[in-house]
Structure 1
């Protein structure tokens, strides 16, 4: 049975943009491309995507994933190796998970988190975000993020607490708007999204293109999603939709 790119995206829980990117770099070409340009994926492509997502969960870079998959033909052997890697990764994550949780709690105003724990977790989260930005938008975008981070080198814990308070208040207002039935692509929502956009610009020189793509990151990046869900578990998708719509209608991005 063949599936379209949108069907595969829904099935695997990834974005259509991600699948198109995997195709463009030769990591996951479709089984066939119809005359009208539609991509179709069969069982071999779905199995390859499953292995790609397993390796991505392990933090393996895309070029390395391509090499691993091209060198391995035995599906069972490959999955057993993936399982062992997952066990090793689980042990590693157990070691850092506490610090990350405490950092998120710190950003949410938990004063029981020590400064050392806070900045350790913040550094780890920034490292993961930088890798995500590089993969999604290229090295130039990641370097822009690093430059913005350097400009906050002198920030104290109180500075981050102030930024966190402002972010939480904005997310609470967004959640309240969503509860009232405000559409994320409405003018009322855009008044809130504008504040989010300006906040992003303070930390990252986002272009209309990268701000549009930020919608995927807010949902798919575990750290960013967790920060939003600490305020409102149902808000990430609403905000992601609003970000994309704002980029198109207010920033002039053309999908």
Structure 2
């Protein structure tokens, strides 16, 4: 039996109150599920903040495919997210735009999924029809203030690299929000090293490339898989792999990597 991750270096790196900033339901489990579970087991107070409800996501073929493009998809994905977070150990959670993740004095709002299209280079590009209330079009300062309202006194913030892993505009928006939160609070920002893309992403201009932190999940791979499997509209677990709605097949990462940016 593989051992669980050693909690000591995890807590030294992320501290005892890290915030994970994600764009859509399922991102938290696919990219960081094992690390979230490991930190919770180590006694950390983990917060997961989700930007949108993923209402423009494609749905895997099968019994749930009829939800695609309907008003029922978003609440279904909210339920999937709740089940995934429970499988990971129950981190604190909020959607940006509603209490407690809403800046004081502002009315509640929903940041909508901006949508995307695939570019010729294999990376996602912004959709032509993103709604005005989409996350990617929201003022960066408003998104940052919402994160700060919910974060409390975080010890680190974790989110995507400058191209959002594979280019999704909502991921990119979350990267820059996380970067600004880290700067304002003077805490570390860890960018996810995305194993599903081959491109090497350089640090933003003026920032050090930093060092990578590797989290070997050990027995927590099973926990991560349970969380991922909860997102039934978005992916299917097939042995050691997961298959996305477009048929893309990837191995479930048994190691999660992060690059410290600040």
Q: TM-score, normalised by structure 2?
A: 0.30
Which structure features the higher share of strand residues? Answer: 2
Q: TM-score, normalised by structure 1?
A: 0.31
Which structure features the higher share of helix residues? Answer: 1
Choose 1 or 2 for highest CA Rg. 1
